Amino acid sequence: MAGIVKMALAGEGGQGVQSVAEIITDAAYAEGKEALYIPNFGVEQRGGVSIAFVQIAAEENIGSPKFTKGDIVIALSDRAVRRTGQYVDENTVFIYDSSLEGIEDDLPTLAKRVLSIPAMEVSKNELHPRVFNIVIMGAAIGATGVISIEQAKKSIEAKLGYKFEQNPELRELNFKALEKGAALVSGVLYN
Amino acid sequence: MEVVQPVMPQSWRIESKPHKFCPGCGHGSVLKALGEVIDELKIQDRVIFGCDIGCSLLAWDFFNLDIIQTHHGRTTPVITGIKRARPELIGVAYMGDGGGYAIGSQHLVNAATRNEQVFVLLANNTNYGMTGGQMAPTTLPGQKTETCPYGRDVKETGNPTLGPEMVAAIASEGAYVARGTVANYRQLKKFVKKAMENQLAGNGFSFVEALAGCPTNWRTNAEKTWAFIEQKMPEYFKVGELKIPAGIKEG
Amino acid sequence: MTNDIKPVSGEKKVFMTGNEVVAWAALAAGVDIMYGYPITPQNEIMHYWTRMVPKFNKKFLQTEDELSAGFATLGGVLSGKKAFTATAGPGNILMQEPFSMAEMMRIPAVLVVQQRGGPSTATVIYSQQEVTMTCYGGNGEGLRIVYSTAGNQDLYDYTIKAFNTAWKYRFPTFVLGDGYQAKMRESLTIYNPEERGIDLVPATPMVGAPGTPGIHREPNHLRNTYNTEEELFQVIREMVTEYNLIAAEIVECDAQRCEDAEIVLISHGVVSRACLAAVSRLRELGIKAGYFRPITLRPFPETQLRQLAKNAKRLLVVESAEGQLAKLIMQSIYGLTIPMENYFRPGLGITAEEVVSQVENLLVVY
């Protein structure tokens, strides 16, 4: 992985965007990489568009906490699609969930690739709606290769382990979600 | 009639006397009561005295105590900060009716609600004295001041603030709240002593309002000054104890 | 955050948000008590501190507003305990009152500011719009010390330093961060300062020292009021003289690649990271760019900047405000004729890419 990988994840408050970003950056840090994550939201405690800016580098110092254009931009709601257009240029891979409606005119036209992935569908039909954000996390990792799946699993365990203790099936569910998400986009972007 | 001792309290500072308060000012009496109580309780080594802006600031060198003169209305939080950091010290926050009930009311209310272990001693002379006699929260209906020259109109500006009543209503168990008057020095001093003992016992918030005179801004002679304090003010401001911690005797 | 019961000892690499870092730094600096009031984006400082309170035998008071938080902090400091408070935006406006009292009375209080958009409520997110207020707010001459941090390691280092500076020199001291630093997670090393050879300046009481006043010692009568103009003038004169004398010991800045620079980028705080990265990139493109970062905004590194400005061809001021840093710079370099451009983005984050673009555009025009 060369240089700094810049990832923006956006969704509605409550979709788990910040948790995903936190786990990815924790995992990158655990792997000895440089990582910087900053959340971005409005004044409301609940609701509103939630964006996470993640930067991961093998060694380089990370400069400003935000970036103008991302390598990967992932949008999970229609509002998020509109909000994140500004972070897309001809080098960006733009990923959105295929369940979103009415966003055809808002999709970026300049991006390197625009991908729709059935993350919500997969969660609902094969896993559980609540691990939707973990599927997305898998997609983000699959698209960038910023961290290994093994480390991602360790970091999920570190953050959500207390829930798994009460309910061990959740662990399998989350790990499956991760792998599923990665499979949905693997091979899109090599670093 | 009891002979009033002419001797200064030991905790008073001789070098800063004669003090700078106007002749007939109520502050002198209130601070004398405080000084005597400090002497009797033997806590001169531990009392930190805070004074506000307004005539109370003239007390900044009044005592042989460590004294901090603060900003207008901010004496309560400064003394609260001291007491929270060093609970072994005794905190006394001294202010007037403006500092306590206008700009400082927010801090008074919250210190009372949080049951801060401090003693707020407030001299109520129904006006902002040092700035030239403007209307204050405790100005009486019909009373003339520089900013209500035709007399306070309660339709325009409401009724005088009943500070101890407000504090008593919101204070916790363990608080001591009273209103005294310079017209009854013995009783005022007793209230001040009980307030101080309340803090020493670690019970909670202590608040004493003292009705006091301001002949300079009231533009009254000695006779009319005392009449105002003894007859007019108690029509609105009831003298007595409003809240006493359980188990303590009523004064 | 770990579950250690000991305070910081040795060195440890950690990955945390800026607000958490501030709490750890206060702990490492030997702070006894924090007073605070909620306002975004600094709330987590209190959240972390209150969780440390029972573990490390510390104290906390949430007050009814920032006025009370500031004045209660003065009280704590006056009583001889290391105390601080933190705020942002509209809360910072209220803090100007207690910190004016601190300026006048030489009370070594510390305020951590995590800048948000302004004026008024604006955004809870980020800006560099509280520079003027933090440096010169209040009704005095701004006799205060202000450190502008550029990331989480800085927040740790300079929060510890703020307490030492305050207690040594007795001017109120500010750590000027921002909403990005407050909320971003990045790695840093936390350490025990004394194990690194950084002595902690002890706190001493201004009220409540041992001994009975009037009997064992003179009372401390502390006031912030004066009767005559002449008295006040004398007092201020002496304070200003002392401030100017110690400025050289306190001032900090960082200059890189300025010796042969065609254009020097001047920025502070988190924006300086973007500018440093931009300078690297510009040099790769063959543009002789230099980097200057004032770390203390008060006292401002005037001497160093003037020296550098004499040799450079052009300056570009980059800030997330509408000229608040530029004002400080102009004040410093008055009399010099070096052209000064600006890239002002009030309330908006600035990336290295935009700075590079700006410089390229500027040089094309010229």
> pLDDT at position A59, please?
85
Rounded to an integer, what distance in angstroms lies between the CA atom of residue A126 and that of residue B115? 57
Nearest to B77 by CA among B41, B55, B109: B109
C263 bridge partner residues:
C289, C314
The model's pLDDT over C194-233, given as tens digits with 9 standing for 90+, comes to: 999 999 999 999 999 999 999 999 999 999 999 999 999 9
Tell whether the model's pLDDT for residue A189 goes beyond 70. no
The model's pLDDT over A72-102, given as tens digits with 9 standing for 90+, comes to: 999 999 999 999 999 999 999 999 999 999 9
**Residues A63, C352: contact at Cβ < 8 Å?**
yes
Tell whether the model's pLDDT for residue C328 goes beyond 80. yes
CB atoms within 10 A of CB C3: 5
CATH topology of domain C11-196: Rossmann fold (3.40.50)
Helix and strand counts by DSSP (H, E) for chain A: 6, 6
> pLDDT at position C3, please?
38
CB atoms within 10 A of CB B75: 35
Q: Would you give per-residue pLDDT tens digits along chain B (251 residues)?
A: 666 656 899 999 999 998 899 999 999 999 999 999 999 999 999 999 999 999 999 999 999 999 999 999 999 999 999 999 999 999 999 999 999 999 999 999 999 999 999 999 999 999 999 999 999 999 999 999 999 999 999 999 999 999 999 999 999 999 999 999 999 999 999 999 999 999 999 999 999 999 999 999 999 999 999 999 999 999 999 999 999 998 777 76
Pick the residue of C14, C154, C185, C320 with the most A CBs within 10 A to test the interface with A by mutation: C185
Rounded to an integer, what distance in angstroms lies between the CA atom of residue C297 and that of residue C136? 10
How does strand C263-266 pair with strand C296-298?
unpaired
CATH topology of domain C254-365: Rossmann fold (3.40.50)
Chain A residues in contact with C15 by the CB 8 A cut-off are: 25-26, 29, 35
Instruction: Quote the pTM value.
Output: 0.91
Rounded to an integer, what distance in angstroms lies between the CA atom of residue C156 and that of residue C189? 9
Domain ranges of chain C: 11-196, 254-365
Confidence band of C162 (pLDDT split at 50, 70, 90): very high
Cα end-to-end span (Å), chain A: 5
Domain ranges of chain B: 23-105+128-204+222-243
Confidence band of C101 (pLDDT split at 50, 70, 90): very high
Domains C11-196 and C254-365 share a fold: yes
Report chain C's C-alpha Rg in angstroms. 21
Q: Which residue has the higher pLDDT, C8 or C275?
A: C275
Identify the closest residue of chain C to B45 by CA–CA distance: C212
Nearest to C320 by CA among C255, C252, C253, C267: C267
The model's pLDDT over C14-53, given as tens digits with 9 standing for 90+, comes to: 999 999 999 999 999 999 999 999 999 999 999 999 999 9
Mean of the pLDDT values across residues C229-247? 98
For the domain bounded by B23-105+128-204+222-243, which CATH number is listed? 3.40.50
Q: Which of A121-135, A139-153, B68-82 has the highest mean pLDDT?
A: B68-82
> pLDDT at position C352, please?
94
Rounded to an integer, what distance in angstroms lies between the CA atom of residue B147 and that of residue B132? 10
> pLDDT at position C366, please?
58
Rounded to an integer, what distance in angstroms lies between the CA atom of residue C39 and that of residue C86? 9
User: For chain A, what percentages of helix, strand and coil (3-state, to nearest 5) are there?
Assistant: 45, 20, 35
Chain C residues in contact with A36 by the CB 8 A cut-off are: 184-186
Could you say which of B45, B85, B106 has the minimum Cβ distance to residue C32? B85
Burial category of B160 from C-beta neighbours within 10 Å (exposed 0-12, middle 13-18, buried 19 and up): buried
> pLDDT at position B4, please?
64
> pLDDT at position C193, please?
96
The DSSP code sequence of A123-183 is: HHHHS-GGGHHHHHHHHHHHHH--S-HHHHHHHHHHHHHHHHHH-THHHHHHHHHHHHHHH
> pLDDT at position A43, please?
59
Mean of the pLDDT values across residues C343-351? 96
Q: Chain C residues within 8 A (CB-CB) of chain B?
A: 32-33, 35, 59, 61, 63-65, 67-68, 71-76, 78-81, 83, 97-98, 101, 205-209, 211-215, 219-225
Identify the closest residue of chain B to C99 by CA–CA distance: B71
Confidence band of A61 (pLDDT split at 50, 70, 90): confident
C185 bridge partner residues:
A37, C17
> pLDDT at position C1, please?
37
Query: Does the beta-carbon distance from A63 to C351 stay under 8 Å?
Result: yes
> pLDDT at position B246, please?
86
> Domains along chain A?
4-185 (3.40.920.10)
> pLDDT at position C2, please?
38
